[in-house]
Amino acid sequence: MAPRDTSKTAVDKLTEKQAKAEHARLEAEIKEHDEAYYQKDAPIISDAEYDAQRRRYEAIEAAFPNLRTPESLSRKVGAAPARGFAKVRHAVPMLSLQNAFDADEVADFVGRIRRFLNLKEDEPIAFTAEPKIDGLSMSLRYENGTLVKAATRGDGFEGEDVTANIRTVKEVPHQLKGKKIPSFCELRGEIYMTKAAFLALNKRQAEADEQIFANPRNSAAGSLRQKDPSITASRPLHFFAYSWGEIADKAAPTQSGMIEWIGKIGFRTNPLWKIVRSIDEMLAFHRDIEEKRAKLDYDIDGVVYKLDRLDWQDRLGFVSRSPRWAIAHKFAAERATTVLRDIEIQVGRTGALTPVAKLEPVTVGGVVVQNASLHNEDYIKGIGNDGAPIRGGTDIRIGDTVIVQRAGDVIPQIVDVVLDKRPKTAKPYEFPTKCPACGSHAVREEGESVRRCTGGLICPTQQVERLRHFVSRTAFDIEGLGEKQVQAFFADGLIMEPADIFTLRARDARAAKKLADREGYGAVSVRNLFDAIDARRKISLNRLIYALGIRHIGETNARLLARHFGTIEALRAALKDAAKDKDSEAYEDLTTVGGIGEVVADALVEFFKEPRNNDALDRLLVEIEVEPMEAVKKDSPVAGKTVVFTGSLEKMTRDEAKAMAERLGAKTAGSVSKKTDYVVAGPGAGSKLGKAKEFDVEVLTEDDWLKLIGETR
């Protein structure tokens, strides 16, 4: 059994060493869950569990600011744009919302706003409240009132251009109404499909022996992402508008006023929205909408509260991946009872053995569920991550009657076992100690709950998974080289490692049997594949690092490493030096990169210590050109700077000052070090001024700071 950890220890009770380890552990787990959800469409934990991990991760960063960086994992939003569509950069990011799951969290949300804005308890505060549509987020750009571009949210910063398809949706106006239309504006909302239309579509799909959709949201997303707009036009899609992005002039000073304006210029807005002026009214609205939920002809999974005053929204700004002035209050998960028929072990790209429950099919919240994640072997035994019992210590056995929940109406999970229905012949499940794919030993590292295959270089599952990851949309993004193609080419020995992808054209030219002769291929498709491969011979450093599939290295850490080291040569040299001694300057430098702790550093060192990994990388680098990653926020005078705020600020709250600095690309820290660029000191500043003098750090007054960033107050 894994030793007890500090995951249940209150954040304010953690030592700095414990916080660093806990932060690294959470980061690794969150990245794994992000990859499972966004890239593999196979989530392994519930919305609530994921949200709890995010909150604890961010709470640790708040208590230990040195762990937070401008590229912190807490800034990650959404998923990368899909293949097959041109990419569109959002002028104003389309961020996600924080979630609340009970009344206390809603009250905390309102309390945080009052504290941030320094509002008195009796000062009136209003919110708009509206149903949270379970659809596909969309941003529509209009210039002089004419629709010119439509894009999905994508990863929040870059989405998919679906302009041709969105023009077929009747509820999206091609021309805005009214006389005072801004010269440009981005209107945002949700594409959705009604429940009745969803059932009718699935009936037609079944009759045509075509794809069956799991729920209305998937059917809406699938309909909009058709390469042929005529297919989209044949699908009954609808659109609710509720927000805006970049806009030349706002028509009203409030959220409610803007919603009314959006309705007047030609959009359909949700008729159930209203203004609420207290926590009690917010909760009453939530109860009312939840009661109406089953009768609505469209899917919702909660309600959204937004601060009504736009000037207060501007002051509150954003945390890493969501606005401070809005929150989604989710509905309780729906449950059903079924029988666990089997437990299947899946081997992931990093060798993790993940147990999956094979269930007697059951409908939960309108979706047929046949599989559910069992997370790890401790979860099956009834043991939590901290070593404490879960489900009262009840284990899960094949043949058990189990309670299945779709938390947040999305992710199937087993939450309990009906013990009085357990078969007498049911035996405790024995988790395999050998990899089912290659027979190598499967071991657990100290402090981990996951068992992993040790045969990384020989395990066929891992080799294929590593190649699939390498060509995935957030890595090399090679069009036409998907899961099926990678599997087939690997099975035939055509692509065994990344470099083989880029030598495929030359080898095919010499081969007796050409790719064009394969079933399902032809001269055109093969030429398109080769062209797509050649188009990716030039790649940014961060994408290359991410594509290598190193454990714990997701998109965020790949960007951090790319920005810190600049070139692949510098990174490899540093890791070679770091591998010699953990007390070396190179290793210390690696662990001081924001977000890169010892767990991640060790994974990097181990990867580059393996000669066969380096040989494979050498062969790859012969075929490609690696570009440095583009810097961000170059135009801000404090971009990339580290700022410490101390003392009492008089023109803004401390939280507001930090938020302002981070919006400008600066990193805020809680302590002064030799890496600090500015100390902004107000009345009552203490020991940090002495540290600033010791490290020769420039000290600014609050007015100096505002002048530096071009802000007037």
Which residues are tagged catalytic?
132
Write out the H or E segment, with its range, that includes residue 345.
strand 334-347
Return the SS3 of 386: coil
Q: Characterize 451-481 residue by residue with b for buried, 16 or more Cβ atoms within 10 angstroms of its Cβ, and e for exposed.
A: bbbebbeebebbbbbbbbbbbbbbbbbbbeb
| Distance separating alpha carbons of residues 26 and 215, to the nearest angstrom | 31
Closest by alpha carbon to 563, among 613, 501, 632? 632
The DSSP string of 196-212 is HHHHHHHHHHHHTT-PP
Query: In whole angstroms, how large is the CA radius of gyration of the chain?
Result: 27
Residue 444 CA, chain-centre distance (Å), reads 27
- Contact indicator for 33, 43 with CB cutoff of 8 Å: yes
Residues contacting 684, CB < 8 A, separation 6+: 647, 648
Closest by alpha carbon to 186, among 218, 213, 135, 149? 149
| Distance separating alpha carbons of residues 686 and 586, to the nearest angstrom | 34
> What's the Cα-to-Cα distance from 162 to each of 92, 136, 260, rounded to whole Å?
18, 12, 26
The DSSP string of 104-142 is HHHHHHHHHHHHHHT--TTS---EEEEEEE-SEEEEEEE
Residue 613, amino acid: N
Return the SS3 of 416: strand
> What's the Cα-to-Cα distance from 568 to each of 69, 76, 539, rounded to whole Å?
22, 24, 11
| Distance separating alpha carbons of residues 240 and 220, to the nearest angstrom | 13
- Contact indicator for 402, 418 with CB cutoff of 8 Å: yes
